[in-house]
Amino acid sequence: MKALCWYGTNDVRVARVPDPRILNPRDAIVKVTLTAICGSDLHLLDGFIPTMKRGDILGHEFMGEVVEVGSGNHKLKKGDRVVVPFTIACGFCHFCERGLWSACDNSNPNAWMLEEAYGYSGSGLFGYSHMMGGYAGGQAEYVRVPFADVGPYKVPDHLSDEQVLFLSDIFPTGYMAAENCNIQTGDTVAVWGCGPVGQFCIASAWLLGAGRVIAIDREPERLMMAADKGKAEVIDLTRTHVFEALRDMTGGRGPDACIDAVGLESHGATFDDWYDKAKTSMMMATDRLSALRQAIHACRKGGTVSIPGVYGGLLDKVPFGAAFGKGLTLKMGQTHVHRYLPVLMDRIEKGQIDPSYVITHRLRLDDAPDAYTTFRAKEDGCIKVVMRP
Protein backbone atom coordinates (compact mmCIF):
# COMPACT_ATOMS: atom_id res chain seq x y z
CA MET A 1 0.00 0.00 0.00
CA LYS A 2 0.94 3.66 -0.15
CA ALA A 3 1.71 5.51 3.07
CA LEU A 4 3.15 8.85 4.11
CA CYS A 5 6.39 8.10 5.97
CA TRP A 6 8.73 10.22 8.07
CA TYR A 7 12.37 9.99 7.04
CA GLY A 8 13.77 12.79 9.19
CA THR A 9 13.24 16.46 10.01
CA ASN A 10 11.71 18.18 6.96
CA ASP A 11 11.64 14.88 5.08
CA VAL A 12 8.30 13.11 4.61
CA ARG A 13 7.58 10.96 1.55
CA VAL A 14 4.89 8.72 0.14
CA ALA A 15 6.35 5.22 0.11
CA ARG A 16 5.26 1.71 -0.86
CA VAL A 17 5.03 -0.37 2.31
CA PRO A 18 3.50 -3.78 3.18
CA ASP A 19 -0.22 -3.83 3.99
CA PRO A 20 -0.98 -3.93 7.72
CA ARG A 21 -2.29 -7.16 9.22
CA ILE A 22 -4.13 -8.21 12.36
CA LEU A 23 -1.60 -8.56 15.20
CA ASN A 24 -3.89 -8.95 18.21
CA PRO A 25 -7.40 -10.42 18.71
CA ARG A 26 -9.12 -7.08 19.32
CA ASP A 27 -7.57 -5.42 16.21
CA ALA A 28 -9.31 -4.31 13.04
CA ILE A 29 -7.94 -3.21 9.68
CA VAL A 30 -9.52 -0.07 8.27
CA LYS A 31 -9.37 0.96 4.61
CA VAL A 32 -8.87 4.70 4.89
CA THR A 33 -11.38 6.79 2.94
CA LEU A 34 -10.36 10.21 4.26
CA THR A 35 -7.43 11.42 6.35
CA ALA A 36 -6.11 14.81 7.44
CA ILE A 37 -2.89 16.55 8.41
CA CYS A 38 -3.02 17.89 11.95
CA GLY A 39 -1.20 20.95 13.21
CA SER A 40 0.58 18.64 15.64
CA ASP A 41 1.95 16.64 12.65
CA LEU A 42 3.97 19.76 11.88
CA HIS A 43 5.83 19.28 15.18
CA LEU A 44 6.98 15.92 13.72
CA LEU A 45 7.97 17.47 10.40
CA ASP A 46 9.94 20.12 12.30
CA GLY A 47 11.69 17.49 14.43
CA PHE A 48 10.32 18.73 17.75
CA ILE A 49 9.09 15.33 18.91
CA PRO A 50 11.79 12.88 20.04
CA THR A 51 11.79 9.08 19.46
CA MET A 52 10.74 9.23 15.80
CA LYS A 53 12.32 6.55 13.63
CA ARG A 54 13.08 6.64 9.93
CA GLY A 55 10.19 5.07 8.02
CA ASP A 56 7.44 5.70 10.61
CA ILE A 57 3.97 6.09 9.03
CA LEU A 58 2.31 9.35 10.13
CA GLY A 59 -1.30 10.41 10.55
CA HIS A 60 -3.74 10.30 13.46
CA GLU A 61 -6.87 11.82 11.92
CA PHE A 62 -8.55 9.25 9.72
CA MET A 63 -11.73 7.32 8.99
CA GLY A 64 -12.72 4.54 6.68
CA GLU A 65 -14.26 1.15 6.15
CA VAL A 66 -13.54 -1.95 8.22
CA VAL A 67 -12.06 -4.65 5.95
CA GLU A 68 -10.83 -7.17 8.51
CA VAL A 69 -11.62 -7.91 12.15
CA GLY A 70 -9.58 -9.83 14.76
CA SER A 71 -10.92 -12.98 16.43
CA GLY A 72 -11.56 -11.21 19.73
CA ASN A 73 -13.42 -8.24 18.27
CA HIS A 74 -17.17 -8.78 18.52
CA LYS A 75 -18.25 -5.20 17.98
CA LEU A 76 -17.12 -4.42 14.44
CA LYS A 77 -17.79 -6.27 11.22
CA LYS A 78 -16.51 -6.04 7.69
CA GLY A 79 -18.04 -3.13 5.82
CA ASP A 80 -18.68 -0.93 8.89
CA ARG A 81 -17.96 2.72 8.22
CA VAL A 82 -16.09 4.20 11.18
CA VAL A 83 -14.26 7.24 12.44
CA VAL A 84 -11.27 6.37 14.67
CA PRO A 85 -10.10 8.32 17.78
CA PHE A 86 -6.43 9.34 17.60
CA THR A 87 -5.91 8.19 21.19
CA ILE A 88 -5.81 4.42 21.67
CA ALA A 89 -7.60 3.09 24.76
CA CYS A 90 -8.06 -0.44 26.13
CA GLY A 91 -11.44 0.31 27.70
CA PHE A 92 -10.90 -1.71 30.88
CA CYS A 93 -8.18 -0.06 32.98
CA HIS A 94 -8.74 2.24 35.94
CA PHE A 95 -8.54 5.35 33.74
CA CYS A 96 -10.67 4.12 30.83
CA GLU A 97 -13.38 3.11 33.31
CA ARG A 98 -13.38 6.69 34.62
CA GLY A 99 -13.65 8.25 31.18
CA LEU A 100 -10.01 9.37 31.12
CA TRP A 101 -9.40 7.55 27.86
CA SER A 102 -6.25 9.40 26.84
CA ALA A 103 -4.71 8.32 30.15
CA CYS A 104 -5.20 4.61 29.33
CA ASP A 105 -2.75 2.41 31.25
CA ASN A 106 -2.44 -0.34 28.68
CA SER A 107 -2.26 0.98 25.13
CA ASN A 108 1.31 2.25 24.98
CA PRO A 109 3.80 -0.60 24.38
CA ASN A 110 6.66 1.85 25.06
CA ALA A 111 5.20 3.28 28.25
CA TRP A 112 8.61 3.08 29.96
CA MET A 113 9.90 5.89 27.73
CA LEU A 114 7.23 8.32 28.94
CA GLU A 115 7.52 7.07 32.52
CA GLU A 116 11.16 8.17 32.45
CA ALA A 117 10.14 11.66 31.33
CA TYR A 118 6.69 12.17 32.90
CA GLY A 119 6.43 9.78 35.84
CA TYR A 120 3.46 7.99 34.27
CA SER A 121 2.61 7.30 30.66
CA GLY A 122 -0.55 8.33 28.84
CA SER A 123 -2.25 6.29 26.14
CA GLY A 124 -0.71 5.28 22.84
CA LEU A 125 -1.39 7.49 19.81
CA PHE A 126 -1.44 6.74 16.10
CA GLY A 127 1.56 7.90 14.10
CA TYR A 128 3.11 10.08 16.76
CA SER A 129 6.59 8.83 17.78
CA HIS A 130 7.73 5.74 19.64
CA MET A 131 7.36 7.19 23.10
CA MET A 132 3.65 7.52 22.23
CA GLY A 133 3.52 3.83 21.29
CA GLY A 134 5.11 3.72 17.85
CA TYR A 135 1.83 2.81 16.14
CA ALA A 136 1.71 3.19 12.35
CA GLY A 137 -0.57 6.08 11.43
CA GLY A 138 -3.52 6.65 9.13
CA GLN A 139 -2.05 8.76 6.31
CA ALA A 140 -2.08 5.53 4.35
CA GLU A 141 -4.39 3.34 2.32
CA TYR A 142 -4.90 0.93 5.21
CA VAL A 143 -4.30 1.13 8.94
CA ARG A 144 -4.33 -1.37 11.77
CA VAL A 145 -6.49 -0.20 14.67
CA PRO A 146 -5.71 -1.81 18.07
CA PHE A 147 -8.48 -2.22 20.67
CA ALA A 148 -10.88 -1.63 17.78
CA ASP A 149 -13.86 -2.87 19.80
CA VAL A 150 -13.52 0.26 21.95
CA GLY A 151 -12.32 3.14 19.75
CA PRO A 152 -13.84 3.20 16.25
CA TYR A 153 -17.29 4.78 16.13
CA LYS A 154 -19.86 3.86 13.51
CA VAL A 155 -20.94 6.66 11.17
CA PRO A 156 -24.59 7.05 10.09
CA ASP A 157 -24.99 6.59 6.30
CA HIS A 158 -26.42 10.02 5.64
CA LEU A 159 -23.37 11.88 6.97
CA SER A 160 -20.45 12.49 4.60
CA ASP A 161 -16.80 11.70 5.35
CA GLU A 162 -15.96 15.40 5.52
CA GLN A 163 -18.71 16.01 8.08
CA VAL A 164 -17.42 13.40 10.55
CA LEU A 165 -13.65 13.05 9.91
CA PHE A 166 -12.73 15.69 12.49
CA LEU A 167 -14.41 13.67 15.25
CA SER A 168 -11.13 11.71 15.23
CA ASP A 169 -9.28 14.57 16.92
CA ILE A 170 -9.68 18.29 16.35
CA PHE A 171 -13.41 18.75 16.97
CA PRO A 172 -13.35 16.84 20.30
CA THR A 173 -10.07 18.62 21.12
CA GLY A 174 -11.63 22.04 20.61
CA TYR A 175 -14.75 20.94 22.45
CA MET A 176 -12.86 19.58 25.46
CA ALA A 177 -10.82 22.79 25.60
CA ALA A 178 -14.04 24.79 25.75
CA GLU A 179 -15.58 22.41 28.28
CA ASN A 180 -12.44 22.80 30.41
CA CYS A 181 -13.21 26.54 30.55
CA ASN A 182 -16.23 25.80 32.74
CA ILE A 183 -18.19 28.38 30.75
CA GLN A 184 -21.04 30.11 32.57
CA THR A 185 -23.78 31.61 30.41
CA GLY A 186 -22.59 34.91 29.02
CA ASP A 187 -18.87 34.38 29.73
CA THR A 188 -16.18 35.88 27.52
CA VAL A 189 -13.75 33.34 26.07
CA ALA A 190 -10.52 34.36 24.31
CA VAL A 191 -8.88 31.89 21.94
CA TRP A 192 -5.20 32.11 20.91
CA GLY A 193 -4.60 30.43 17.56
CA CYS A 194 -7.18 30.25 14.78
CA GLY A 195 -5.98 27.03 13.22
CA PRO A 196 -8.47 24.16 12.98
CA VAL A 197 -8.44 23.40 16.73
CA GLY A 198 -8.86 27.09 17.52
CA GLN A 199 -11.82 27.24 15.10
CA PHE A 200 -13.48 24.35 16.96
CA CYS A 201 -12.70 26.00 20.32
CA ILE A 202 -14.61 29.03 19.07
CA ALA A 203 -17.55 26.97 17.80
CA SER A 204 -17.64 24.87 20.97
CA ALA A 205 -17.51 27.92 23.25
CA TRP A 206 -20.70 29.13 21.56
CA LEU A 207 -22.29 25.66 21.89
CA LEU A 208 -21.50 25.70 25.62
CA GLY A 209 -23.08 29.09 26.27
CA ALA A 210 -20.37 31.73 25.90
CA GLY A 211 -21.62 35.29 25.54
CA ARG A 212 -18.57 36.53 23.64
CA VAL A 213 -15.74 34.80 21.84
CA ILE A 214 -12.56 36.69 20.91
CA ALA A 215 -10.04 35.08 18.54
CA ILE A 216 -6.34 36.01 18.33
CA ASP A 217 -3.99 35.15 15.44
CA ARG A 218 -1.75 36.84 12.91
CA GLU A 219 -2.87 35.11 9.70
CA PRO A 220 -5.55 37.13 7.88
CA GLU A 221 -7.39 34.14 6.39
CA ARG A 222 -7.53 32.39 9.76
CA LEU A 223 -8.89 35.51 11.44
CA MET A 224 -11.36 35.80 8.58
CA MET A 225 -12.59 32.24 9.12
CA ALA A 226 -12.91 32.92 12.87
CA ALA A 227 -15.00 35.99 12.12
CA ASP A 228 -17.08 34.63 9.22
CA LYS A 229 -17.70 31.00 10.19
CA GLY A 230 -16.94 31.27 13.90
CA LYS A 231 -18.78 34.57 14.50
CA ALA A 232 -15.93 35.61 16.81
CA GLU A 233 -14.51 39.07 17.38
CA VAL A 234 -10.91 39.02 16.19
CA ILE A 235 -7.57 40.52 17.21
CA ASP A 236 -4.60 40.60 14.82
CA LEU A 237 -1.66 40.28 17.19
CA THR A 238 0.73 41.93 14.74
CA ARG A 239 -1.32 45.14 14.72
CA THR A 240 -2.83 45.30 18.18
CA HIS A 241 -1.53 45.05 21.74
CA VAL A 242 -3.34 41.88 22.76
CA PHE A 243 -3.48 42.42 26.53
CA GLU A 244 -4.76 45.99 26.21
CA ALA A 245 -7.28 45.06 23.56
CA LEU A 246 -8.68 42.22 25.65
CA ARG A 247 -8.79 44.42 28.75
CA ASP A 248 -10.65 47.15 26.90
CA MET A 249 -13.06 44.67 25.30
CA THR A 250 -13.96 43.16 28.70
CA GLY A 251 -14.64 46.31 30.66
CA GLY A 252 -11.19 46.25 32.28
CA ARG A 253 -11.54 42.79 33.84
CA GLY A 254 -10.03 40.42 31.28
CA PRO A 255 -11.60 37.34 29.65
CA ASP A 256 -13.25 34.78 31.94
CA ALA A 257 -11.41 32.01 30.14
CA CYS A 258 -8.39 31.91 27.82
CA ILE A 259 -7.61 29.03 25.47
CA ASP A 260 -4.10 28.37 24.15
CA ALA A 261 -4.80 26.53 20.89
CA VAL A 262 -1.25 27.15 19.66
CA GLY A 263 1.13 24.92 21.60
CA LEU A 264 4.85 24.48 21.53
CA GLU A 265 5.71 26.23 18.26
CA SER A 266 4.13 29.57 19.00
CA HIS A 267 4.91 32.48 16.66
CA GLY A 268 4.44 35.60 18.73
CA ALA A 269 5.26 39.21 18.01
CA THR A 270 6.81 40.07 21.33
CA PHE A 271 10.29 40.03 22.81
CA ASP A 272 9.76 36.75 24.71
CA ASP A 273 9.05 34.97 21.44
CA TRP A 274 12.48 35.88 20.07
CA TYR A 275 14.00 34.67 23.32
CA ASP A 276 12.23 31.28 22.95
CA LYS A 277 13.27 30.97 19.31
CA ALA A 278 16.89 31.63 20.21
CA LYS A 279 16.85 29.09 23.02
CA THR A 280 15.08 26.32 21.10
CA SER A 281 17.32 26.81 18.08
CA MET A 282 20.33 26.27 20.36
CA MET A 283 18.67 23.15 21.84
CA MET A 284 18.51 24.87 25.22
CA ALA A 285 14.72 24.64 25.41
CA THR A 286 12.08 22.35 23.95
CA ASP A 287 9.02 24.57 23.63
CA ARG A 288 8.10 28.08 22.52
CA LEU A 289 5.24 29.47 24.50
CA SER A 290 4.48 33.11 23.88
CA ALA A 291 0.78 32.27 23.40
CA LEU A 292 0.62 30.52 26.77
CA ARG A 293 2.37 33.43 28.51
CA GLN A 294 -0.04 35.89 26.97
CA ALA A 295 -3.09 33.78 27.87
CA ILE A 296 -2.00 33.58 31.53
CA HIS A 297 -1.22 37.29 31.58
CA ALA A 298 -4.51 38.38 30.01
CA CYS A 299 -6.87 36.11 31.93
CA ARG A 300 -9.12 37.71 34.54
CA LYS A 301 -8.60 36.97 38.24
CA GLY A 302 -10.07 33.60 39.17
CA GLY A 303 -10.44 32.68 35.50
CA THR A 304 -9.46 29.55 33.61
CA VAL A 305 -6.62 28.95 31.16
CA SER A 306 -7.36 25.91 29.01
CA ILE A 307 -4.55 24.40 26.95
CA PRO A 308 -5.36 22.10 24.01
CA GLY A 309 -2.11 23.16 22.30
CA VAL A 310 0.55 20.46 22.59
CA TYR A 311 3.56 20.88 24.88
CA GLY A 312 6.25 18.27 25.35
CA GLY A 313 9.11 19.32 27.53
CA LEU A 314 10.26 21.71 30.22
CA LEU A 315 8.84 25.18 29.73
CA ASP A 316 10.99 28.21 30.32
CA LYS A 317 9.75 31.48 31.83
CA VAL A 318 6.19 30.39 32.55
CA PRO A 319 4.53 33.28 34.41
CA PHE A 320 3.58 31.01 37.26
CA GLY A 321 3.50 33.89 39.72
CA ALA A 322 0.80 35.56 37.64
CA ALA A 323 -1.21 32.33 37.52
CA PHE A 324 -0.91 31.96 41.28
CA GLY A 325 -1.44 35.61 42.06
CA LYS A 326 -4.67 35.71 40.09
CA GLY A 327 -5.90 32.34 41.33
CA LEU A 328 -6.19 30.88 37.86
CA THR A 329 -7.36 27.39 37.03
CA LEU A 330 -5.13 25.66 34.45
CA LYS A 331 -6.58 22.72 32.51
CA MET A 332 -4.89 20.78 29.74
CA GLY A 333 -4.09 17.40 28.27
CA GLN A 334 -4.62 15.01 25.41
CA THR A 335 -8.26 14.78 24.41
CA HIS A 336 -10.47 12.01 25.79
CA VAL A 337 -11.82 11.53 22.27
CA HIS A 338 -13.87 8.42 23.17
CA ARG A 339 -15.86 10.50 25.68
CA TYR A 340 -16.84 13.25 23.22
CA LEU A 341 -17.36 11.23 20.05
CA PRO A 342 -20.98 10.14 20.72
CA VAL A 343 -21.97 13.59 22.03
CA LEU A 344 -20.53 15.44 19.06
CA MET A 345 -21.77 12.91 16.48
CA ASP A 346 -25.19 13.65 17.89
CA ARG A 347 -24.71 17.42 17.48
CA ILE A 348 -23.63 16.90 13.87
CA GLU A 349 -26.64 14.67 13.19
CA LYS A 350 -28.95 17.31 14.67
CA GLY A 351 -27.42 19.90 12.35
CA GLN A 352 -26.03 22.04 15.19
CA ILE A 353 -22.65 22.12 13.48
CA ASP A 354 -21.01 20.94 10.24
CA PRO A 355 -17.27 20.71 11.00
CA SER A 356 -16.31 20.50 7.32
CA TYR A 357 -16.17 24.31 7.13
CA VAL A 358 -12.51 24.35 8.23
CA ILE A 359 -11.37 22.41 5.11
CA THR A 360 -9.46 24.57 2.64
CA HIS A 361 -7.52 21.90 0.70
CA ARG A 362 -8.82 18.61 -0.74
CA LEU A 363 -5.93 16.53 -2.09
CA ARG A 364 -4.71 13.01 -2.85
CA LEU A 365 -2.43 11.12 -0.46
CA ASP A 366 0.27 11.34 -3.17
CA ASP A 367 0.27 15.11 -2.62
CA ALA A 368 0.96 14.75 1.13
CA PRO A 369 4.63 15.91 1.17
CA ASP A 370 3.76 19.16 -0.62
CA ALA A 371 0.67 19.54 1.53
CA TYR A 372 2.81 19.40 4.68
CA THR A 373 4.98 22.27 3.52
CA THR A 374 2.04 24.33 2.26
CA PHE A 375 0.25 23.81 5.58
CA ARG A 376 3.34 24.71 7.60
CA ALA A 377 4.02 27.85 5.57
CA LYS A 378 0.30 28.74 5.80
CA GLU A 379 0.55 29.41 2.06
CA ASP A 380 -2.37 29.48 -0.31
CA GLY A 381 -4.78 30.22 2.54
CA CYS A 382 -4.14 26.73 3.92
CA ILE A 383 -6.00 26.01 7.14
CA LYS A 384 -6.97 22.34 6.92
CA VAL A 385 -5.85 19.66 4.47
CA VAL A 386 -7.85 16.47 3.90
CA MET A 387 -6.59 13.70 1.62
CA ARG A 388 -8.11 10.71 -0.12
CA PRO A 389 -5.75 7.74 -0.45
**What is the contact surface with other proteins in residues (CB under 8 A)?**
1, 3, 5-7, 13, 15, 17-21, 23-26, 53-57, 72, 88, 90-94, 97, 105-109, 111-112, 124, 133-136, 140, 144, 146-147
Query: Min. distance of Cβ 133 from other proteins in angstroms?
Result: 7
Query: Min. distance of Cβ 61 from other proteins in angstroms?
Result: 19
Query: Min. distance of Cβ 86 from other proteins in angstroms?
Result: 16
By the 10 Å C-beta count (0-12 exposed, 13-18 middle, 19+ buried), 158 is classed as exposed
By the 10 Å C-beta count (0-12 exposed, 13-18 middle, 19+ buried), 200 is classed as buried
Based on CB atoms, which residue is closest to other proteins, 117 or 278? 117
Nearest-CA neighbor of 138 among 65, 196, 75?
Answer: 65
Based on CB atoms, which residue is closest to other proteins, 7 or 311? 7
DSSP 8-state class, residue 381 = G
Close Cβ partners of 51 (under 8 Å, ≥ 6 residues apart): 110, 113, 129, 130, 131, 132, 134
Query: Contacts from 266-269 at CB under 8 Å and sequence distance 24+?
Result: 266/290, 266/291, 266/292, 266/309, 267/218, 268/237, 268/294, 269/218, 269/237, 269/238
DSSP 8-state class, residue 314 = P
Query: Min. distance of Cβ 7 from other proteins in angstroms?
Result: 7
d(CA 314, CA 306) in angstroms, rounded, equals 18
Query: Min. distance of Cβ 144 from other proteins in angstroms?
Result: 6
Based on CB atoms, which residue is closest to other proteins, 15 or 332? 15
Query: Min. distance of Cβ 165 from other proteins in angstroms?
Result: 22
DSSP 8-state class, residue 50 = S
How far lies 362's CA from each of 18, 135, 221, 359, 366, in Å?
26, 25, 17, 7, 12
Strands 81-84 and 2-8: unpaired
Based on CB atoms, which residue is closest to other proteins, 17 or 224? 17
Q: What is the DSSP string of 162-183?
A: HHHGGGGTHHHHHHHHHHTTTP
Based on CB atoms, which residue is closest to other proteins, 146 or 389? 146
Query: Min. distance of Cβ 243 from other proteins in angstroms?
Result: 44
How far lies 344's CA from each of 17, 56, 93, 350, in Å?
34, 31, 24, 10
d(CA 47, CA 41) in angstroms, rounded, equals 10
Based on CB atoms, which residue is closest to other proteins, 116 or 248? 116
Based on CB atoms, which residue is closest to other proteins, 1 or 322? 1
Based on CB atoms, which residue is closest to other proteins, 149 or 265? 149
Nearest-CA neighbor of 352 among 364, 344, 360?
Answer: 344
Query: Min. distance of Cβ 312 from other proteins in angstroms?
Result: 21
Whether the Cβ atoms of residue 144 and residue 21 lie closer than 8 Å to each other:
yes
| Strand ranges, E, within 240-356 | 257-260, 304-307, 329-332
Query: Min. distance of Cβ 58 from other proteins in angstroms?
Result: 10
Task: Residue 165: count other Cβ atoms within 10 Å of its Cβ.
Answer: 27
Based on CB atoms, which residue is closest to other proteins, 246 or 337? 337
Based on CB atoms, which residue is closest to other proteins, 21 or 253? 21
Query: Min. distance of Cβ 212 from other proteins in angstroms?
Result: 42
> In one letter, which amino acid is 262?
V
